[in-house]
Homo-oligomer: A and B are copies of this chain.
Amino acid sequence: MLTKTSSLSRLVAELKKLPGVGERTALRLAFHLLKSPQNLTALADALLEVRSRVRACSTCFAITEDDPCSICSGNRDAGTICVVENSQDLMALERSNAWHGVYHVLEGAISPLAGVGPSDLRIAALLERVGRGGVSEVVIATNFTVEGEATALYLTKALKPLNVKVTRLAHGIPLGSDIEFVDAATVQWALQGRNEL
């Protein structure tokens, strides 16, 4: 039997650091990997490859393998910048196929409780990017959480003096929702933002 100090215990300890993975799940994952050595090897290789190849784009700070990233170097409208908290949000916007501009990844949101201030984010780089000119609109697509809203407020105040149009993603009822089950604050936003047909 394996002892507590074995390599399996070390693997279980590492797997436990993943979000949502506890002792039992980690053990289950470890045994699953032990049973299929080629999957285990492929996972280790994929991890090492990601470590060596993935970095942040020097322009928009999205994660990328090539610098500048495929969006910054692609055939996109560099005059409209969509500001997101992280690369996952960027991917969600890309999946919508509705944005043809470029992005700017803040790498977080302002959160005094977590000790994250404006200087910890890529806000200076955004202001410099907009300040260089040629930018007509900045769409703020931070999350609709306390931190995201605080960041949006800060960005709006910082961007306004640069003479650029600042917009925010629309609030409202999500597609496919039953209004009965939508929270009151969202219904309030949806009413205030109602559109003429």
Chain A contact residues, CB within 8 Å of chain B: 1-3, 6-8, 10-11, 13-15, 17-20, 25, 27-34, 36-37, 39-44, 46-51, 53-54, 62-65, 69-71, 86-88, 90-91, 94, 103
- Pick from B31, B41, B88: contact of A51, CB below 8 A: B41
A7–B49 contact, CB under 8 A?
A: yes
List residues of chain B with CB within 8 A of the CB of A3.
65, 70
On whether the beta carbons of B1 and A69 are closer than 8 Å, the reply is yes
The answer to whether A39 touches B53 (Cβ under 8 A) is no
Decide if B47 touches A11 in the complex (CB within 8 Å): yes
A31-B88, A88-B27 known; A14-B1 Cβ under 8 A: no
Residue in B closest to A24 when the chains form the complex, CB atoms: B88
